[in-house]
Amino acid sequence: MAAAAKQAQQLARQLFKLSVVDNVVSTDRVAGVLAYVEKHAPANAVFVLKTYHRLIAVELAKSEARVEHAGAVAPAALAAIAAAMTKKYSRPITTTARAHPALLAGLRVRVGDDVYESSVSGQLAALALSV
């Protein structure tokens, strides 16, 4: 059972590596992988696809800066964030903005696992921890 799961994980990882070109997930390659899985139906296909989905989701999150903001954010600011993150992570990064009133003021930018906190609520939380 454990060996089968390990094999499925390995296959998912191989398929994932095939789907990434120059640190970017390729839409064409993903379509190709899905076609391959549909045609050949490997053992544990559902598990393989779920693992593959998780790996692709993690990779896509690395190429997207999710900007949460309390007030309005100018398109120029979003473009500046995208440019700064692209430079920092050496890969093309796009931005998506989402209003988050609980931040009170400021921004929170999430790229993959990294979170850049520059909001009042984040600072208040840090203050609460320090006292």
Least CB distance to other proteins at residue 131 (A): 9
Q: Which residues pair with 121 in a beta bridge?
A: none
17/38 with CB nearer other proteins:
17
35-51 as b/e: b if 16+ CB within 10 A = eebeeeeeebeebbbeb
Q: How far apart are CA 120 and CA 123, in angstroms?
A: 5
21/115 with CB nearer other proteins:
115
Least CB distance to other proteins at residue 114 (A): 6
99/124 with CB nearer other proteins:
124
Q: Are 27 and 59 within 8 A, CB to CB?
A: no
**Contact positions toward other proteins, by CB under 8 A?**
13, 54-55, 58, 107, 109-110, 112-118, 122-123, 126-127
